[in-house]
Amino acid sequence: MMDGFMSAEDRLRELVCTIRLVAFDFDGVFTDDMVYVLQDGSEAVRCFRGDGIGLQKLGSVGKEAIIISTEANPVVAARAAKLKIRCLQDVGDKRAVLEGVAGELGIGLAQVAFVGNDINDRAVLRCVGLPIVVRNAHPDIVCEARYQTRLSGGHGAVREVCDLFEEAGMPREAVGRS
């Protein structure tokens, strides 16, 4: 920081340190936004395995995590269970649900980050302290984000967000050496 000027990177780091809950959309964030529909009507999606280690890191720096999904799909529940992350599905109003979860934790929405990818995430992106979108987010919501990942949904974006939180909690000189 020079002469009272704080870089965008330092402002982001400072903001990340205030966050206590990171909420994620599922489709397009944990996945590449593609779906395989099997002949029996069941669905399969592709996820990035490194997200699991990322979520462990997030927990190790004291941040809560949750998945909030518009869809009700056994695939989402199965992945969330494997990752040991709370998952709320079939959510019509993500903002209202997120307000409830924040209330359970005794925090305000200013202490929440939300990671989304499409227009159904707009209302929640607008109300949280740290709105995040993935690299391949729909162009109509990119302007709502304070941070856009370098990686696309389903290709490490969740891990990138988790790494961002881990790095913000490290001394500046240690960043990049972990």
Residue 31 lies in a domain: yes
The b/e string for 80-119 (b: 16+ C-beta within 10 A; e otherwise) is beebebebbbebeebbebbbebbeeeebebebbbbbbbbe
Per the prediction, the chain carries an average pLDDT of 91
Tokens of 62: 């004291």
Residue 146 lies in a domain: yes
SS3 132: strand
Q: Provide the residue range defining the domain that includes 59.
A: 8-171
Q: What is the rounded average pLDDT of the residues 5-17? A: 86
Residue 177 lies in a domain: no
pLDDT tens by residue, 152-175:
999 999 999 999 999 987 655 544
- The neighbouring-strand residues paired with 2 are 5
Residue 144 lies in a domain: yes
Cα 47–83–109 angle (5° rounding)? 95
Residue 166 lies in a domain: yes
Residue 2 lies in a domain: no
Residue 127 lies in a domain: yes
| Count of domains observed in the chain | 1
pLDDT at 114: 98
pLDDT tens by residue, 63-75:
999 999 998 999 9
Q: What is the rounded average pLDDT of the residues 129-157? A: 97
Residue 156 belongs to domain with CATH number: 3.40.50.1000
pLDDT at 106: 96
Residue 1 lies in a domain: no
